[in-house]
Amino acid sequence: DTGVSQNPRHKITKRGQNVTFRCDPISEHNRLYWYRQTLGQGPEFLTYFQNEAQLEKSRLLSDRFSAERPKGSFSTLEIQRTEQGDSAMYLCASSYGQGGEAFFGQGTRLTVV
């Protein structure tokens, strides 16, 4: 399967712990996006990369969130000192070029208890 891969699929963590998610995009896709989705809402933009450069980060994103794409391939999203409000589905998508179609992974569902 050469689609977008996200790991883990599910994560349960205690409030205050740090968590890290991984996204492997479709090979040759140079753009990678992170979104957060809560129940009944559309995906909310978090950040996106072109190759290894982080081009935009949502102003809604607190300093507890950080994302990297060190070699322009896979990406990680880290949440420090998790809060219950961080519970959501975290989605990753990739595309090629400015106008390329974006394909999503199956997401990582985070539950903070």
Partner 1 sequence: QKEVEQDPGPLSVPEGAIVSLNCTYSNSAFQYFMWYRQYSRKGPELLMYTYSSGNKEDGRFTAQVDKSSKYISLFIRDSQPSDSATYLCAMKGSASKIIFGSGTRLSIRP
Say whether the peptide bond before residue 25 is cis (omega within 30 degrees of 0).
no
Instruction: Tell me the window of 14-22, 60-68, 72-80, 89-97 that interacts with partner 1 (CB under 8 A).
Output: 89-97
Are 66 and 58 in contact by the 8 Å Cβ rule? The answer is no
Q: Which of 77, 88, 107, 112 binds partner 1 (CB under 8 A)?
A: 107
Q: Which of 7, 13, 20, 45 binds partner 1 (CB under 8 A)?
A: 45
In the set 12, 17, 101, 113, which binds partner 1 (CB under 8 A)? 101
Cα 56 to Cα 98: distance, rounded to the nearest angstrom: 14
Q: Which stretch binds partner 1 (CB under 8 A): 13-21, 63-71, 72-80, 85-93?
A: 85-93
| Residue of 91, 94, 110, 112 interacting with partner 1 (CB under 8 A) | 91
Does 25 participate in binding partner 1 (rule CB under 8 A)?
Answer: no
Angle, CA 111 vertex, CA 45 and CA 39 arms, to 5°: 50
- What is the rounded CA–CA span in Å between residue 74 and residue 27? 9
Residue type, 9: R
Distance CA 77, CA 80 (A): 10
Please identify which residue in 21, 33, 49, 65 interacts with partner 1, judged by CB under 8 A.
33
State the Cα–Cα distance between residues 31 and 75, nearest whole angstrom. 11
User: Which chain residues interact with partner 1 by CB under 8 A?
Assistant: 4, 6, 33, 35, 40-45, 48, 56, 89, 91, 93, 98-99, 101-107, 109
